[in-house]
Amino acid sequence: MIIEHLPVRSLTEGPKHHFFGYFDKYPYDKSGRYLLAHETDFTARQPEPGEKAGICLIDLEDNNKLTRLVNTDAWCWQQGCMLQWINDAENEIIYNDREGERFVSRIVDVKSGNIRTSCRPVYALSPDGRWALSLNFSRLDRERPGYGYPGVFDPTEKVKCPDSDGVFLVDLKNNTSRLIISVAQVTERFHRSDMENTPGWFNHLLFSPDSKRFAFFHRWRLWFDNKKCHKTHMFTANIDGTDIYPLNLEEMSSHYTWISPTQIINFSNRYASGWQYHLFTDRSNRVEIIGKDVFPDDGHCSYSPDGRWMLTDTYPLEPDNCHRLYLHRLKDNQTFEIGRFYEDNSMSEPTRCDLHPRWSRDGGMVCFDSTHEGTRQIYEIDVTQITGV
């Protein structure tokens, strides 16, 4: 591994806290000029119902001028309010919000300020901009704090594996939705003895690049030594919920992304190879290892737009309690550590600040969230001196 720490610049500043959220969405608009961000008055504790986060636009060509557009009452530290650009629109963003006793999503034209409301909160958008996937964010908040939202009653709370809850497909053009895969359906079809009498839920939904299939996690609650834990099965399916394929049933899958319409890179635990970045081919038994035994920890992985580089990070590692940020060149298995960023280890699990590194659309920049300077802020690195883009 080559250590070549690159210059870092801050895109936001305190005293307020700023972050984008997850690694599987573009914070940059199509032009590369504007970047999306959340803004909060606090950090290092869970939000209470009614505590809003601001949704902001950063102008990268005007001294990183930050404009607060709207507020949201449905957000979390790991994935924010699912804030993202609508892929077939030039100026529209989508984010989740609370309306009375339900969660919804809002679509905002950042130029005109026009807002319209969609029938369900979104988890993932199809690249063609036509569809969204949704799930029960109240159930997710209960089972995995830091990923769902508090404040809305969940009618399935006492049901271990509901047949009325699961993955919903949202038609963004017609503002309609329908349940396409239920928790009960997957639990019954891929049943294990340790799924008995314990809650199950879905998480980490993501469309394929051609908008024809999606991947998702089925997780179920376990307890070891009086501590909460969970196990994970990973699946793919057509966007109407048909042709469910068990991509990984071997104990645990973690962060992943589609790198083509048929391939997914996933940090996962396999019986034969252990914890590695595995390259899965959808609807097949083909599994390869990317960067065998190179990376010391789980990370948030993605490929550059040209497909030549993998970007990933780590959780804080000993002895310095720093996140590592990596670029991995696929053609020759060469890895560069491009930065280390300290995190206070007193932060609780749901409120931690992962780097969640994200590519710019042209592959020249990487932005990430960090608390290494004392407040939660967004930073950017020019990676072209390594990648040559």
CA distance readout (Å), 110 to 36, 86, 118, 229, 281? 11, 11, 17, 41, 38
pLDDT tens digits, 90-148 = 899 999 999 999 999 999 999 999 999 999 999 999 999 999 999 999 999 999 999 99
Position 188 pLDDT exceeds 90: yes
Q: Hey, what amino acid is at 98?
A: R
pTM of the shown model: 0.96
* Nearest residue to 87 (alpha-carbon basis) of 39, 135, 122: 122
* Nearest residue to 179 (alpha-carbon basis) of 120, 234, 245, 94: 120
Confidence at 227, pLDDT banded by 50, 70, 90: confident
Pairing between strand 334-342 and 2-3?
parallel
pLDDT of residue 224: 85
Residue 163 gets which letter from DSSP? S
> What is the distance between the alpha carbons of residues 101 and 115, in angstroms, rounded to a whole number?
20
What are the structural domains, with CATH classification, of the chain? 2-387 (2.130.10.10)
> What is the distance between the alpha carbons of residues 73 and 27, in angstroms, rounded to a whole number?
20
Position 361 pLDDT exceeds 90: yes
CA distance readout (Å), 349 to 44, 83, 103, 354? 9, 22, 24, 10
- Percent of the chain clearing pLDDT 70 (strictly above): 100
